[in-house]
Amino acid sequence: MTILITGGAGFIGANFVLEWVKATGEPVVNLDALTYAGNRASLQSLEGSNLHHFVHGEIGDAALVGELLATHKVRAVINFAAESHVDRSIKGPTRFFETNVMGTLGLLEAVRAYWGGLGGAVKDAFRFLHVSTDEVYGTLAPDEPAFSETTPYRPNSPYAASKASSDHIVRSYHETYGLPVLLTNCSNNYGPLQFPEKLIPLVIHNALAGKDLPIYGDGLQVRDWLYVGDHCTAIRQVLETAAPGASYNIGGDNQMTNLAVVRHICALLDARRPKADGSRYADQMKHVTDRPGHDRRYAIDARKIAHDLGWQPSVRFEDGIRQTVDWYLANAGWVENVTSGAYRDWVARQYT
């Protein structure tokens, strides 16, 4: 049997592929367009492995996807591929709708045609799992209850709106065509292999480079941080055991303000890589203009996945963030490799 992963050269996808191959020994076809966020270097340890077949291409290319599904007799598809950075969606929304909405539609059309041609037990066992986000639910006031699977969608950024649209399309393919879909909505991930445009790797990268650590607005926005390995485990459990049509929220039960996260990273760096002049990394923190439409608070109610599938986060933030900081300190080459000219152009446009 084989599974098709899309976006497996990105942050969560690459962590998932590495973990999947190690844990299951089942072959993976990895379809990725290698945008700025996709890096073959993340999958270097699988070079030459007959369990990992990398294909450079777009999820919206239904002909390519159809060929891959048939050639490799795929039993399940997990769709990680997306444009994923909120700030980029604010600067230029079009690509988000092309990939996250039309791309997902093209992928689903290819999957529907392939699945329609299967028979018997193979057809019954087939699954399409769409990886989505808690941002589709919008923002919470400090005292509001956490997002559950029945919270109405109220996306605020172009990124969130594009993901919400894709979730609705996926759901409609189950209701209309009976396609055995699964949907997961997860909170903020952190861990190794995350592109240094997102808060945690950006802060580590800038701190070590002696640059400002940009805090949007007052820095009191709240996110629910989950270690990427726990997200990957949850996805595997949903794929293996959830009923077709089900959706699950996934979170770390770990709400923190951005200020608290950044200060925590600074303290870890002070201990691990003290600055020569004796100053503190936190001195580099700088409040900058807030993100337009900035969601104030996310929080996930993950009781459904705990109850139905027995999944719970296993990595405490203190441990996960220490491992993450250590990974970035030990993998300066990976960071150097991904922070190319295009990355520097983005940083210049976003932060000056």
Footprint on this chain of ligand DAU (rule: CB under 6 A):
84-86, 133-135, 187-188, 198-199, 202, 214-216, 221, 223, 258, 291, 298
Number of residues that bind ligand NAD (CB under 6 A): 31
Residues 29 and 72: their CA atoms lie apart, in Å, by 8
The minimum distance between CB 66 and ligand DAU, in angstroms, equals 28
From 140-148, 169-177, 184-192, 302-310, span contacting ligand NAD (CB under 6 A): 184-192
CA dihedral 241, 108, 302, 32 (to 10 degrees): 100
Amino acid occupying residue 343: Y
Token pair 């900035």 is found at 294
Q: How far is the CB of 322 from ligand NAD (least distance, A)?
A: 19
CB of 120 to ligand NAD, least distance (A): 31
Task: For the CB of residue 240, give the shortest distance to ligand DAU in the complex, in Å.
Answer: 23
Catalytic member of 135, 167, 230, 295: 135
Q: How far apart are CA 275 and CA 107, in angstroms?
A: 49
Judged by beta carbon distances under 5 to 8 A according to partner kind, the member of ligand NAD, ligand DAU, none in contact with residue 214 is ligand DAU
- Residue 223's binding partner out of ligand DAU, ligand NAD, none, with CB under 5 to 8 Å set by partner kind: ligand DAU
**Residue 229 interface partner, choices ligand DAU, ligand NAD, none, CB cut-off 5-8 Å depending on type:** none
Which member of 32, 83, 134, 295 is catalytic? 134
- Is 81 a binding residue for ligand NAD by CB under 6 A? The answer is yes
Residue 12 binding target from ligand NAD, ligand DAU, none, CB below 5 to 8 Å by type: ligand NAD
Q: How many CB atoms lie within 10 A of CB 260?
A: 14
Instruction: State the first-to-last Cα distance of the chain, in angstroms, to the nearest integer.
Output: 50
Strands 255-257 and 222-224: antiparallel
| 199 vs 194: CA distance, rounded Å | 10
Give me the 92-111 binding string for ligand NAD, x by CB under 6 A, dash otherwise.
-------x---x--------
Strands (E), the chain: 2-6, 28-32, 52-56, 74-79, 127-133, 181-186, 189-190, 213-216, 222-224, 226-227, 247-250, 255-257, 285-288
Residue 10 binds ligand NAD, judged by CB under 6 A:
yes
| 135 in active site | yes
Residues 188, 226: Cα–Cα separation, whole Å: 6
Distance CA 263, CA 224 (A): 16
Indicate which residue of 114, 137, 159, 328 is catalytic: 159
State yes or no: is 134 an active-site residue.
yes
- Residue 33 in the binding site for ligand NAD (CB under 6 A): yes
| Interaction partner, residue 201 (ligand DAU, ligand NAD, none; CB < 5-8 Å by kind) | none
DSSP structure class, residue 153: P
Give 181's DSSP letter: E
Q: Which stretch binds ligand NAD (CB under 6 A): 6-14, 67-75, 235-243, 313-321?
A: 6-14
Alpha carbon 314 to its chain's center: 18
The residues that are catalytic are: 134-135, 159
- Residues of this chain that interact with ligand NAD (CB under 6 A) are 6-7, 9-13, 31-35, 37-38, 58-60, 80-84, 99, 103, 131, 133, 163, 186, 188-189, 195
